[in-house]
């Protein structure tokens, strides 16, 4: 299993198990425990969470089935979670909003630790940039959580380069990553400075929705049809599946990208791992890029 180093010491597999759809999967109890054990046997040791996933239920479902039943598994895994999104009704609010205040971040982390059944998370991310945030206060919250041992490393999610610079300027510890949307369907973040910023900071990226929501397989919009034709042909040439090629398209990038799966289906997770062993040529990578954008580079 290929690994990527985040921060100064956090080693995560290049394929990370995303738990956003855990509630919807219907997986519970012993079935979920078996799933996690199988992931660990495959060296898929990192699990990505957030308080808001499943309407605040996914972390609890995971904790009750896994770490509260077999706490010894904690030392074999890495847990990623986030903070800073408040769903409607939680604070008598009418709309969803972002809240990166110190009080909110610390409260959410404490709740996540209780639900997950752990004393710490390996990586904590600010889930979304909050336009009302005081960066000094957000930075203080993150550093306090690291000092207390509740978060071993911290980073951000969906931040622009300038937003990362702003937050980092108030911190004495380095942000470990930026988790952003990256896929053959969504290539904007390859060209808007986010990858350049990651190279400058020497940090790897985490990609959410690495299959672009699945529309490449069935969508009838022009982009999906183009991608289906090109990715399908390249998959045929490699003797593999379209999704393995789409993962490989991310893995090959030298910035170092860890992909977060969006499924609890083990066969599809294994396909994501298969993508690590596929080496795409420059020509293949650019063929897919052209299919996504609808034009070749000049």
| Annotation says 97 is catalytic | no
Q: What is the DSSP string of 73-135?
A: GGGG-EEEEEE-EE-TTTTS-SS-EE---HHHHHHHHHHHHHHHT-S-EEEEEE-S--TT--H
* Vertex 60: Cα angle to 175 and 134 (nearest 5): 35
Query: Distance (Å, rounded) from C-alpha 187 to C-alpha 150?
Result: 34
Residues 6 or more apart from 275 whose CB is under 8 A from it? Answer: 15, 243, 244, 245, 246, 247, 248, 250, 251, 259
Q: To the nearest 5 percent, what fractions of the chain are helix, strand and coil?
A: 45, 15, 40
Question: What's the chain's length in residues?
Answer: 298
* Residues 117 and 64: beta-carbon distance below 8 Å: yes
Q: Which of 53, 97, 170, 247 is catalytic?
A: 53
State phi, psi for 154 to the nearest 5 degrees. -135, 155
Closest CA to 68 of 114, 17, 25, 124: 114
CB 205 within 8 A of CB 255: yes
Residues with catalytic annotation? 53
């Amino acid at each position: 299993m290929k690994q990527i180093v985040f921060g100064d010491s956090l080693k995560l597999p290049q394929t990370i198990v995303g738990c956003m759809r855990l509630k919807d999967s219907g997986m519970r109890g012993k079935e979920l425990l078996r799933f996690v054990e199988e992931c660990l046997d495959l060296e898929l040791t990192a699990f990505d969470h957030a308080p808001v996933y499943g309407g605040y239920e996914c972390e609890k479902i995971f904790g009750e089935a896994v770490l509260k039943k077999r706490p010894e598994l904690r030392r074999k895994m890495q847990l990623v979670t986030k903070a800073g999104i408040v769903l409607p009704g939680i604070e008598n609010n009418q709309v969803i909003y972002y809240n990166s205040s110190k009080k909110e971040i610390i409260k959410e982390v404490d709740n996540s630790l209780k639900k997950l059944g752990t004393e710490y998370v390996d990586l904590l991310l600010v889930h979304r940039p909050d336009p009302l945030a005081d960066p000094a206060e957000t930075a203080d919250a993150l550093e306090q959580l690291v000092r207390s041992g509740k978060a071993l490393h911290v980073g951000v999610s969906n931040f622009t380069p300038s937003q990362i610079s702003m937050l980092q300027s108030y911190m004495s510890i380095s942000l470990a990553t930026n988790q952003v949307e990256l896929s053959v369907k969504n290539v904007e973040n390859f060209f808007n400075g986010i990858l350049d910023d990651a190279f400058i900071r020497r940090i790897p990226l985490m990609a959410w929705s690495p299959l672009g929501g699945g529309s490449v397989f069935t969508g009838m919009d022009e982009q999906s049809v183009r991608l289906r034709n090109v990715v399908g042909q390249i998959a045929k040439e490699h003797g593999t599946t379209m999704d393995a090629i789409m993962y490989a398209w991310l893995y090959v990038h030298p910035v170092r990208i860890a992909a977060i799966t969006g499924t609890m289906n083990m066969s599809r997770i294994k396909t994501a791992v298969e993508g690590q062993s596929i080496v795409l040529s420059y020509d293949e990578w650019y063929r897919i890029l052209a299919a996504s954008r609808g034009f070749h580079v000049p």
